Structure 1
């Protein structure tokens, strides 16, 4: 596959990147860089590897079986108690969870526009939500995909330029790839993992690959898309953390995402502030669009509804999720703590979804020769164990044990 063909293969994986590089990523990476400098860069590297492992399974499931993850889970269990429990998990953790994220997504993007224009985020928020709703209402997958890919490109360029303008310490960056756990960092480590390895993206990916490709014969192209997109997403997260680490003295506590943008101006000039704000807007808009889409795919699949983008019930789900964000974005409050808490909650819930995925990926009746190999099961198991440990550490840190 040549370079041009590889670029053309980019699609559903970029939507996954668009989903996880939201205001939660910007917030968590900024807070982490300001408080612990470059010390937790290794967490991003782990998150990228973990995301590739799990998202490849999700994409393979959708490509081979032509089912979403929600459908696969519902159909996998003969025991009605287990079947209903899995459906309840999907609808609550994914459907309701994406609605909880949506306000932070919209407000984060609106905060970026407010910094550039001076117009209140409470005005930009609902407007952004309505534009996102218009895009989803078209029901045209290719249009949605291309719009999101374009915004990811804008986001990447913006944050990459900031990281260059700020003049980071490259030796400290290299040292940051060596795993360490500074005192008090467990909460943010879990947050960084939770902002990258996102549970609802597993549902989004399994369904979106079916819109782009026809079957197992396209698996190589699909894997190229998955790996390239997630690596680029990880580099964007890394750029944000590096920028914060270079701007703030170690130990600084950020209370508002706007603080990050404002602090850039005296250090690296007005352009750095503008680029950061544009990147924040793109992050908010992409996540505000993909989260309702993921929630609709997951809920419709779990409940056995039609997953067509123009289906009434499918639209009803994403309208509810997006509508929640639009309504609450009109209220005046800082989303930073809510976003951080949501990221950590995702990190705690993720192991359950990951175990479901690994379980389904070993079903030979559905996947035949495309079931997980021993290596894939081991990698998936290790990723799940680490995520469980991080979630456990985070919970203990909240009650003051660690």
Structure 2
């Protein structure tokens, strides 16, 4: 494998590494959306502090998955989709179907989640559907006109707002420190299995974890010399996510568990939480929370609009390059920003934005929900298993293959996500 001048760039000195952190924050912020906030809060409301350990385990698993993805990109000089292609044509068919269906349904979901807090903050302005359309269009224009460097900066601002708001409210509700520490001991209260698995597997990213390597490359990190920087970036990001998730559990435990308040299912449950905060602390606190709600939702929208479009653009580029020898990768060299200006990238941006707008006005058809649920349930096991496969064979340089700890964490991830997948499929409204 040849090494270009850009690939040979050394990582920054230690004193500058902290200022270089970014791609991990982007992937973590994208993965924590409104649905994750609801799931975490509901877990806290039902079981108090007893599932804090599950949130910590979930972050460790996401660290392992994102680290493996980033290591693949940096150690091999090939993208994760290039690696998937080396495993057989079945990966191409699966991913192609998945990314089209997922993008259509997620586009509507992301626009609705971003619209909900705005419609609540400004109730006498636009309808919910209009707010959703505006959020989608703003996301489209922003990603269309800007490159990764600007995307990263706005994502850092959004996750900063989200973090300060949620952690600030968690501190204000006065957590029970003793119960919080006790919650680090693994326990499974009656009826908590589904919530435990959801906390471990659901918070902090799905398909966006696969986009991490593309963001790493877009940052200008290329070659094995950047692996140490990538690992620091990844760990800091998911430590931040862990604190954030624990803060949401605290809010659920203190505001809802003790008072036996139930949230509405779905993203609208956060509006219920805003009402609870208003009753207890006043309108100002509720408004601040809704701003944090918007930051979480819109950061996910921006992240997906950019990151999954990069995945799709790479998918199209590999298909155009032809089959050849998939294990040899491709000789195509993509300069920074080139993929973001490509036609496939912009076509998928349009796909995420305009067709899903119809879902803002109509109930989603049951057939689409079923397809989305089945394909989505299979993606995380697919990611974990294929990373195990690719990083334990000669597809990766020997010195950068998985060690025992990485293999153990990825195997645990694969097992967990298979269990979640089976549960998701069984629970679908067949």
- So what's the TM-score if we normalise by structure 1? 0.87
CA-to-aligned-CA distance 1:176-195 (integer Å, 9 cap, x gap): 22222333333333332343
Farther off after superposition, 204-213 or 378-387:
378-387
Structure 1 contact 292–318 (Cα < 8 Å) conserved: yes
Q: What does residue 240 of structure 1 align with?
A: 248
Correspondent of 2:223 among 205, 215, 218: 215
Q: What does residue 45 of structure 1 align with?
A: 56
Structure 2 contact 49–250 (Cα < 8 Å) conserved: yes
SS at match of 2:257: coil
CA-to-aligned-CA distance 1:337-385 (integer Å, 9 cap, x gap): x99x989974554112210111111233443421112331122112222
CA distance in 1, matches of 2:14, 2:162: 22
Q: Structure 1 residues 94, 152: closer, same or farther in 2, change over 3 A?
A: same
Farther off after superposition, 42-51 or 133-142:
133-142
Correspondent of 2:173 among 160, 166, 175: 166
Higher helix share: 1
CA distance in 2, matches of 1:2, 1:361: 28
Structure 1 contact 17–229 (Cα < 8 Å) conserved: yes
CA-CA distance at 1:9 after TM superposition: 2.0
Correspondent of 1:96 among 84, 101, 109: 101
Structure 1 contact 265–272 (Cα < 8 Å) conserved: yes
| Residue 61 (str. 1) matches residue 72 (str. 2) | yes
Max Rg structure: 2
CA-CA distance at 1:209 after TM superposition: 0.7
Q: What does residue 274 of structure 1 align with?
A: 287
Structure 1 contact 35–252 (Cα < 8 Å) conserved: no
Correspondent of 1:350 among 380, 383, 387: 380
CA distance in 2, matches of 1:3, 1:115: 45
CA-to-aligned-CA distance 1:48-79 (integer Å, 9 cap, x gap): 000001100001111222322112211x13xx
| Residue 367 (str. 1) matches residue 397 (str. 2) | yes
Unpaired segments ≥5 residues, structure 1? none
Q: Structure 1 residues 230, 376: closer, same or farther in 2, change over 3 A?
A: same
Q: Structure 1 residues 397, 89: closer, same or farther in 2, change over 3 A?
A: closer
| Residue 229 (str. 1) matches residue 237 (str. 2) | yes
Question: What are the equivalent positions in structure 2 for 1:3-152 lying under 5 Å apart?
Answer: 5-74=16-85, 76-77=86-87, 82-83=88-89, 85-118=90-123, 119=125, 120-152=127-159
CA distance in 2, matches of 1:177, 1:342: 34
Q: Aligned-pair RMSD on alpha carbons? A: 2.8
Q: Structure 1 residues 167, 57: closer, same or farther in 2, change over 3 A?
A: same
Q: What does residue 283 of structure 1 align with?
A: 296
Q: What does residue 277 of structure 2 align with?
A: 264
Structure 1 contact 90–299 (Cα < 8 Å) conserved: no
CA distance in 2, matches of 1:94, 1:261: 33
Farther off after superposition, 387-396 or 56-65:
387-396
Unpaired segments ≥5 residues, structure 2? 1-11, 321-333
SS at match of 1:363: coil
CA-CA distance at 1:239 after TM superposition: 1.3
Structure 1 contact 186–394 (Cα < 8 Å) conserved: no
CA distance in 2, matches of 1:148, 1:332: 30
SS at match of 1:309: helix
CA-CA distance at 1:216 after TM superposition: 1.3
CA distance in 1, matches of 2:140, 2:428: 37
SS at match of 1:181: coil
- So what's the TM-score if we normalise by structure 2? 0.82
CA-CA distance at 1:109 after TM superposition: 2.0
Structure 1 contact 98–292 (Cα < 8 Å) conserved: no
| Residue 184 (str. 1) matches residue 215 (str. 2) | no
Q: What does residue 354 of structure 2 align with?
A: 323
Aligned residues between the structures: 388
CA-CA distance at 1:390 after TM superposition: 4.2
